[in-house]
């Protein structure tokens, strides 16, 4: 198991403090605030620890305050509802005595019924795209410094964009950003772990998608960005350690708020999840 995956599993392995109360810690990477996907994943872990024999199907969250990576995060779970078909949990993440994040998670006993889904975009398979070695050798030197720093460090989630042109200022014809994702090492055979890993990964690249139609990126020094809310619906079974296509677009950017959406497919075309997020995309003020 890679060090990055071991670190991710440690991050998702919350410490039980009391009934409905858990403590999570942040990796000490030097970032000034906690990665939003980490809080989403840890909150889902906390909620999942209070149910048995039932899987999450949707979660809706708000980022209230930036997280401090230097101190633990306490997760308080409220058992809002335990029904025959649906179970609901409310999760509050607390630091320094104040809520920094709130999320509602719904769990559902899977039922038989009608079936329909949008088709997966026709994109190259991940094996045909540049791998990590090729990216580091041939593509990375052409990308902005901030992008280079991200791709050079060991990560628990491998990202393989279908087209790196977004980072070079090119606008895709269809306004979409397609990227293959998977964990960088196998995960345990536990549905909850795969759901939490995908929840963690679903926050990656999504906010930046709000700038794709403009040929801009949050890696530019002109912008500051932060996730405001996040919604994730889980439709069908999947493994987060197998390639998944994360197909993203942005229908609106206005008032310094960008709305981004994503469909996540197994490589056989099965739609496994839908994501939506509104985030702050603010132009930095010029110094007088």
Long-range contacts for 9-12 (Cβ within 8 Å, ≥24 apart)?
Answer: 9/187, 9/188, 9/193, 11/38, 11/41, 11/42, 12/41, 12/42, 12/45, 12/193, 12/196, 12/197, 12/200
Q: Could you please report the per-residue DSSP string of the chain?
A: --HHHHHHHHHHSPEEEETTEEEE----SS-SS--HHHHHHHHHHHHHTT--S-EEEEEEEEE-S---TTS-EEEEEEEEEE-SSEEEEEEEEEETTEEEEEEEEEEE---------PPPP----GGGS--HHHIIIIIGGGS-HHHHHHHHS--SEEEEES-GGGGGTPPPTTS-EEEEEEESS---S-HHHHHHHHHHHTTTTTGGGGGGGGT--TTSTTEEEEEEEEEEEE-S---TTS-EEEEEEEEEEETTEEEEEEEEEETTS-EEEEEEEEEEEEEPPPP-
Catalytic residues: 203, 227, 277
For residues 161 and 179, the answer to whether their CB atoms sit within 8 Å is yes
């Amino acid at each position: 198991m890679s060090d990055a995956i071991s670190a991710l599993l440690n991050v998702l392995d919350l410490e039980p403090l009391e009934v409905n109360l858990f403590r999570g810690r942040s990796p000490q990477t030097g970032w000034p605030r906690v990665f939003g996907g980490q809080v989403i994943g840890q909150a889902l872990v906390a909620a999942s620890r209070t149910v048995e024999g039932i899987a999450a199907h949707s979660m809706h969250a708000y980022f209230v305050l930036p997280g401090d990576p230097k101190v633990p995060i306490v997760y308080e779970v409220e058992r809002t509802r335990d029904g025959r078909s649906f179970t609901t949990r409310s999760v509050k993440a607390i630091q320094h005595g104040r809520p920094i994040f709130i999320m509602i998670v719904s769990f559902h006993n899977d039922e038989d019924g009608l079936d329909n889904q949008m088709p997966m975009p026709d994109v190259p398979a991940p094996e045909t795209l540049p791998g990590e070695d090729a990216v580091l050798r041939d593509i990375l030197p052409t990308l902005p410094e901030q992008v280079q720093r991200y791709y050079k460090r060991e990560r628990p989630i491998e990202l393989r964009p279908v087209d790196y042109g977004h980072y070079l200022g090119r606008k895709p014809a269809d306004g979409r950003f397609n990227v293959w994702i998977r964990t960088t090492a196998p995960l345990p055979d536990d549905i909850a772990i795969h759901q939490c890993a995908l929840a963690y990964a679903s926050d990656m690249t999504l906010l930046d998608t709000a700038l794709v139609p403009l040929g801009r990126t949050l890696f530019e020094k002109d912008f500051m960005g932060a996730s405001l809310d996040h919604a994730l619906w889980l439709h069908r079974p999947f493994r987060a350690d197998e390639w998944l296509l994360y197909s993203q677009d942005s229908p609106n950017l206005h008032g310094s708020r960008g709305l981004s959406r994503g469909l996540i497919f197994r490589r056989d075309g099965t739609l496994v999840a839908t994501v939506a997020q509104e985030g702050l995309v603010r132009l930095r003020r010029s110094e007088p």
